[in-house]
Amino acid sequence: MITLGLAILDRNNKNKDIYFYGLTIAADCYIIEKIISIFK
């Protein structure tokens, strides 16, 4: 969520906001997949 916070603070570059937001979602999905794989 730190990455998402930085993207929100940087309103000057809309593309950068989308880029950082995408990275945050990718990281969250990766962590969730790892947790799910442990319980399988």
Whether residue 37 has pLDDT greater than 70: yes
Q: Which residue has the higher pLDDT, 26 or 4?
A: 26
Whether residue 25 has pLDDT greater than 50: yes
Report if pTM > 0.75: no
Counting residues of the chain whose pLDDT is more than 70, the rounded percentage is: 35
Contacts 24+ apart (CB under 8 A), 26-31: 27/3
Q: Which residues contact 19 (CB under 8 A, 6 or more apart)?
A: 7
Whether residue 33 has pLDDT greater than 70: yes
Q: Residue 12: what are its φ and ψ, rounded to 5°?
A: -70, -25
- Reported as a pLDDT band with limits 50, 70 and 90, residue 2 is very low
CA distance 28 to 37: 14
Rounded mean pLDDT of the chain? 64
Buried b (16+ CB within 10 A) or exposed e, 14-40: eeebeebeeebeeeeeeeeeeeeeeee
